[in-house]
Amino acid sequence: MKVRASTRRYKELRFQQLRSFAETARLGSLAAAAASLGVAQPTVWAQVHALERSLSAQLIEPHGRGCRLTEAGQLLAQLAGPLVAGMDSLGRVFREQVQQVEACLTVAAPQRILVEELPEVIAEFERQHPQVRLNLLERMSGTVAEAVEKGTADLGISTEQEAGEATPWLQYEPGYELDILLICPRQHPLAKKDRVGLRDLKGYPLVNAVNGFPRREIAATLQKLGAFAAQPRRVEAVNTPVIRRYVEMGLGIGIVVGRRGQIQSRQLCEHSLSRHFGLVEVNLIWRKGVLPQPHARAFADTVKKLLAQKQPRTGS
């Protein structure tokens, strides 16, 4: 018996069905997926349900105002996410490879990394790859991965806490490590100590916000020691330049991430706290499945070459 073409189509996996499913899985809503893809919501709904019929499995189920993945849907997201990303990047990579368009690389990073670590990387990369147009996106810490996931950036560089958490959309590559530094005015009592322990911080107001540390356990340890109890706490800052500025003004002591001695200041003294907290890993964040761009890999390698070799000392 012949199978009519209209019937057979429902039994074939189609890329547009996978793309609609992948966006629905990523955004948790058929409406959001439709907006992202620039199509009507009923179109996304039809494509996702055609995929369910083709695979004989329920992939999504209602949840709140959107939807969530079933166990089968989670498996398919892990398998299909990189495939969809790879197909979406195929045209761009092909055009760049045959030099029909200018090669372009977009890198997202938070303010501190853009200011303190990337300038020398950018200078070296542009010297070696003058044909590549490099674009830099400043993003708040915690949103760099989002820029990569959405395709706004080709590469992210961040200490974000979500690094290492399971996701079918992103992969994290260790880039380099940084010291955790106590900074204080040079006339401060802590500046005169050869080594500073965590208990030494008690009694001096911290200008850091509790939620402003690259790892949750740092804030938890400081809270347990009562390091945030000293008054007056007139500043609760997150960004490193803000912390440095108000410590210079004498409004407290601060804890920042960076390379020792990189910021030369006659007003500030640095002590390493990494023997207590360990080093902070900076990660390179990629979208899973996206076809590799030679210039993106070259930029990542330049980051590791120039910064990974400069491991900070963990002594005071």
**Would you state the pLDDT for residue 204?**
95
Pick from 279, 275, 187, 205: which is nearest to 243 by CA? 205
CA angle, 33 then 38 then 44, to 5°: 45
pLDDT digits (tens, 9 = 90+) for 284-294: 999 887 766 78
With contact defined as beta carbons under 8 Å apart, do 33 and 44 qualify? yes
**Would you state the pLDDT for residue 9?**
47
* Residue 84 confidence (pLDDT) above 90: no
> Which superfamily does CATH assign the domain made up of 178-277 to?
Periplasmic binding protein-like II (3.40.190.10)
Whole-model pTM above 0.75? no
How many whole angstroms separate alpha carbon 314 and alpha carbon 276?
9
- Average confidence (pLDDT) over 57-65: 87
- Average confidence (pLDDT) over 171-199: 94
Pick from 135, 142, 141, 155: which is nearest to 111 by CA? 141
**Would you state the pLDDT for residue 310?**
58
What's the pLDDT band for 13 if we cut at 50, 70, 90?
low
- Average confidence (pLDDT) over 156-161: 85
- Average confidence (pLDDT) over 223-238: 93
For domain 5-91, give the fold.
Arc Repressor Mutant, subunit A (1.10.10)
Strands 170-185 and 268-272: antiparallel
- Could you name the CATH architecture of 94-177+281-308? 3-Layer(aba) Sandwich (3.40)
With contact defined as beta carbons under 8 Å apart, do 258 and 265 qualify? no
Range list for CATH 3.40.190.10 in the chain: 94-177+281-308, 178-277
What's the pLDDT band for 4 if we cut at 50, 70, 90?
very low
- Average confidence (pLDDT) over 203-230: 92
Pick from 159, 255, 249, 165: which is nearest to 201 by CA? 255
With contact defined as beta carbons under 8 Å apart, do 252 and 246 qualify? yes
Range list for CATH 1.10.10.10 in the chain: 5-91
Residue at token pair 């204080």: 184
How many whole angstroms separate alpha carbon 247 and alpha carbon 267?
9
